[in-house]
Structure 1
Amino acid sequence: MLALMGFLMVIAFMYLIMSKRLSAMTALMLVPLAFGIALGFGPQLGAMSLEGIKKVAPTGIMICFAILYFGVMIDAGLFDPLISRILKAVKGDPMKVVVGTAILAGIVSLDGDGSTTYMITCSAMLAVHRRLGIHPLILPAMAIMQNGVMNILPWGGPTGRVMSALSLEASDVFVPLIPAMVAGTIWVLFVAYRIGLKERARLGTLHLQDTVPGPATANMDKENQILKRPHLFWINLGMTIILMAALVKELLPLNVLFMIGTSLALIINYPKLKDQQARIATHAANALPVIVMVFAAGIFMGIMSGTKMVDAMANSLVSVIPPSMGPHLALITALASLPFTFFLTNDAFYFGVVPILVKTAATYGITPAEIARASLIGQGAHLLSPLVASTYLLVGLCGVEFGDFQKYTLLWAIGTSIVMLALALTIGIIPL
């Protein structure tokens, strides 16, 4: 019953947001509450919700101050030279912009953190996309698809979890998957090229003087030009590089780093208290919708975990595998990782489901490393799950609806996993 209700809850949530009957924020809160009450957990729902909120609170704080920090940097003109160079390089060609966005997202994704990837990619490319009139869903699609491939890096979340759960080394799990990651990246770039060609056909190769100026560009209105701090460019650049290096090195928690960075950015660029308050008020409008979405997701995850629906869903998915398919359990794991990692959290899948699969696979001579590699294939589409907090940051930065974003990107993202699986099977790193 718990498993059935869990699947029904996720399906109901997806239907409500994709059909636009509810916003993602309200659906994340009301749907699990309704199902929790129906299951008889009414008195415990408050504690479950609070536990989920506590878990996402650091992410919410980090997102809040990250949006403020990069908002201040955009106001101060830090990214203007980069945007100008990109515009000159692409010469108004939407196809080059889309492919360049995917390449940039791949490079930034090397730090293994999705939030950082989205913030840097969007800060650098959003104004270019808007200036050329490119469809607003394309930028977040390129960023999340490329980040889905790079999410398999050992210092990323899922690979670290599966290595910990199975006591494996990176040489057992990650290194053999590198060719599959290369194939996944090529697929993302191919998708970017195809989408870019369609945008070029729709928009043409534009002349810069024919385009409408967007935010964070050189040709902005007088009011925004007043906010520019060109004399502080190198200071702002150095501060941002130090911040990114500290993020990668994990010198302090991400939320603390961005709180410190935001404070310094405001004081250095806008020393007057009135100007600081104006910058905070301006960017709070961008930060608030994302933050409330993260905390709403905390309620969703808290109730799923507290009612044990997640555990029941995991066990039921494992139990449907017939014994006759045992010798093909690695392939089954790879295919099942798509819905597993979409409907469950990474913690629930890699710490709950994968060890069960490993024990079953051992009876058929399939090694833990092979199951571990197979379990990571689904990461191509995992980040589109409503349970991934950083995705709400991405849609918030790009100003798009979560449901629209899922519908636009999901099939392309599933294609990433299929391409990676095909190569993995071909070269034998995942056995048939």
Structure 2
Amino acid sequence: MLSLIGYLTVAVILTLLLTNRVAAVVALAGVPVLGALVAGFSPTEIGEFVTAGLGGVVGTATMFVFAIVFFGLMRDAGMFDPIISGIVRFAGNAPVTICVGTTLLAMAAHLDGAGATTFLITIPAMLPIFDRLGMSRLVLTTCVGLGAGVMNLLPWGGPTARAAATTGVDVNELWVPLIPAQVVGMLAALVIAWWLGRRESRRLSAPGADAAPADRTATGGGAGPDSRPSRGATSDAVVGELPDPSSATRGGTMVDVQQTEDELRRPRLFWFNVLLTVAVIALLVSAVALPEVVFLVGVVVALVVNYPGLHQQTQRIEAHSKGAMLMATTLLAAGVFLGILDGSGMIEAMARSGASVIPEQAAPGLPLIAGVLGVPLSLVFGPDAYYFGVLPVLMGIGEQFGVSGADIARASLVGEETVGFPISPLTGSFFLLVGLAGVDIGRHIRHLIGWAWLVSIIMLVAAVITGAVPLWA
């Protein structure tokens, strides 16, 4: 009964998010509370679950708030302007080159295995370029998601470490046989990025093409701002947005915006802001301090140096408060969701009931089944739920038929919360990806899931060919 309620809760949430029926906060916080009440838990117990869940995300939510403000301040001060111009000149305004470069940047940024760090580095750097050329932000999140996803297989990444802990197999024993498959996955991600760039190029060059696709999220159903606001005092963007070129025709609005932008620019502080940003990112990657502390200090320094005085600092904080609050409330609602599902035991019950429906006759094919279903299962099971809940049961079934637990784990790692983590609402970094890019959650999942699944299947085929995963044990 508990597992059924858990599955229904997740299904309703996914349906609401994918169909854009309600705001993400409503779906993530409201539905789990109703599910827990139906399961027979008292309001006091539900409150305890919620408290525990919020405790797990409050640090992340705090980091998001200050990260949004920090990168907004850097954008206001003009730090991104020469960087954007340099990359655009290098790419030659070619969507193909930009998409491939975005994927490569995501791969390089994900070398530390942290999704949040990857998205904090890649999205602020590439979003203004996509907006300047009128490219789809969904293409941006797809390229970043594919690049980060294939790299999440690294031995110091979360899924591989969890799989090693569950199987009792050394992490390198799981990863090394999968290296050829991972390389193939990286190449596949780059090919897809090239294809998406070609498609964007054709769209933008078509007569009457829309130079600003409607793929931004509104205040409901997503985690970021709507459209592309200016960089002036009224800006509510998450990261380095550019003014809407069409605003030049709206009664002189563009002139007013430009004047405001010029007032905000700090060209003499460009190198200081670059060094400050590099220092913040270096501290994030090296994990010298908590991410929320790093961004808090970064915001304080940026405000004091670039915008001294109470009036200027208050204006800058207010300018970016909308995007920050949208992200914070969505993350806190996700904490409610995860806290209730975990504290109520729904996740554990879902894991066991889901694994128990596998017919014994199919046991020799468990590795292949786990590999094929890895990406879509990322929508249902988070990394902890799968690798600590589902995987042990699958291993128990496999042992009865001589199927190695390591084989099942390796097959799982080509999709479940690796290539699949950028579409998983069960991970905090997912909300950072869609929030920083300002895209709708449901549209992002629909746009990325097919490409992610394709890359996962290609990696699985490579793993079978190289012997890392058996075709039939």
Alpha-carbon distance in 2 for matches of 1:241, 1:366: 48
The residue aligned with 2:335 is 298
SS in 2 for 1:431: coil
Range that drifts further, 338-347 or 80-89: 338-347
1:401-416 matched pairs, under 5 angstroms: 401-416=440-455
2:461 aligns with one of 414, 422, 429: 422
Alignment-derived partner of residue 351 in structure 2: 314
Partner of 1:184: 185
> 2:263 matched to which residue of 1?
226
The letter for the 2-side match of 1:10 is V
Between 1:326-335 and 1:69-78, the stretch displaced more is: 326-335
Secondary structure at the residue paired with 2:294?
Answer: helix
Q: What's 1:39 paired with?
A: 39
Residue 378 of structure 2 aligns to a residue whose secondary structure is: helix
Amino acid across the alignment from 1:268: V
* SS in structure 2 of the partner of residue 342 of structure 1: coil
Offset at residue 423 of structure 1 (A) = 0.8
Give the corresponding residue for 1:382.
421
TM-superposed deviation, 1:365: 3.6
Query: Whole-Å Cα distance in 1 between the matches of residues 206 and 104 of structure 2?
Result: 20
Map residues 244-393 of structure 1 onto 2, 5 A cutoff.
244-378=281-415, 379-393=418-432
Opposite residue 61 of structure 1, the aligned amino acid is T
- Equivalent residue, structure 1, for 2:103: 102
Cα displacement (A) at 1:342: 2.3
TM-score, normalisation: structure 2: 0.85
| Conservation of the 8 A alpha-carbon contact between 2:79 and 2:273 | yes
RMSD value, Cα: 2.3
Separation in 1, partners of 2:118, 2:337 = 25
Deviations 1:378-409, CA, capped at 9 Å, x for gaps: 22123212212222122222221111111121
CA contact (8 A) 2:421 2:430 kept: no
Does the 8 A contact of 2:378 with 2:423 survive in 1?
A: no
Mean Cα displacement is larger for which, 239-248 or 290-299?
239-248
Cα deviation per residue 1:263-283 (whole Å; 9 max; x = unaligned)?
Answer: 222222222232222111111
Q: Is residue 13–residue 27 contact of structure 1 (8 Å, CA) maintained in 2?
A: yes
- Among the aligned pairs, what percent are the same residue? 40
Match of 2:18 in 1: 18
Contact 1:76–1:227, Cα closer than 8 Å, also in 2: yes
Matches within 5 A, 1:67-146: 67-146=68-147
Which deviates more from structure 2 when the two are superposed, residues 398-407 or residues 167-176? 167-176
Deviation of 1:213 after TM superposition, in Å, equals: 11
Q: 2:272 aligns with which of 226, 231, 235?
A: 235
Distance of 2:338 and 2:183 partners within structure 1: 33
How many angstroms does 1:61 deviate by? 0.9
Q: Does 1:64 align with 2:65?
A: yes
2:297 corresponds to which letter in structure 1?
Answer: I
Distance 1:411 1:358 in 2: 28
Q: Is the 8 A contact 2:106 2:148 kept in 1?
A: yes
Question: Residue deviations 1:107-148, cap 9 Å, x none?
Answer: 212122212221221211111111111122111121112111
1:335 Cα shift?
A: 2.7
Residue 214 of structure 1 and its aligned partner are, at CA, apart by: 7.5
Q: Deviations over 1:201-260 (max 9, x none)?
A: 111299xxx999975579981211222222222222222222222222211122222212
* Aligned equivalents of 1:403, 1:336: Cα separation in 2: 20
Q: For residue 29 of structure 2, what is the aligned residue in structure 1?
A: 29
Tell me what 2:249 maps to: none
Residue identity in the other structure for 2:340: I
Bigger mean CA deviation after superposition, 310-319 or 356-365: 356-365
Aligned residue in 1 for 2:215: none
Amino acid at match of 1:345: G
Residue 369 of structure 1 deviates from its aligned partner by 2.8
User: Counterparts of 1:16 and 1:393 in 2: how far apart (Å)?
Assistant: 19
Aligned residues: 429
- Contact 1:92-1:205 within 8 A present in 2 as well: no
Q: Which amino acid aligns with 1:84?
A: S
3-state SS of 2:320 partner:
helix
Q: Alpha-carbon deviations, 1:73-111, whole Å to 9, x = none?
A: 122222222211111112222222222222222221212
Residue by residue over 1:343-383, the C-alpha shift from the partner in whole angstroms, topping out at 9 and shown as x without a partner, is: 12211211222223233333444434322212212221232
Matches of 1:343 and 1:414, distance apart in 2: 15
Letter of the 1:159 counterpart: T
Q: By how many angstroms is 1:20 displaced? A: 2.0
Letter in 2 for 1:41: F
Q: Is the 8 A contact 2:117 2:285 kept in 1?
A: no
What amino acid does structure 2 have at the position aligned with 1:422? V
Counterpart in 1 of 2:435? 396
Determine the structure 1 residue equivalent to 2:54.
53
Does the C-alpha gap of structure 1 residues 249 and 173 become closer, same or farther in structure 2, counting only changes over 3 Å? Answer: same
The gaps in structure 1 that reach 5 residues or longer are none
Deviation at 1:8, TM superposition (A): 1.5
Match in the other structure for 2:2 = 2
What do residues 273-309 of structure 1 show as CA deviations (whole Å, max 9, x unaligned)?
Answer: 3222211111111111111111101111111112211
Q: Which one is further off, 213-222 or 370-379?
A: 213-222
Q: Report the CA distance shift for 1:260/1:65 in structure 2 as closer, same or farther (over 3 A).
A: same
The code of the aligned residue for 1:107 comes to A
- The normalised TM-score by structure 1 is 0.93
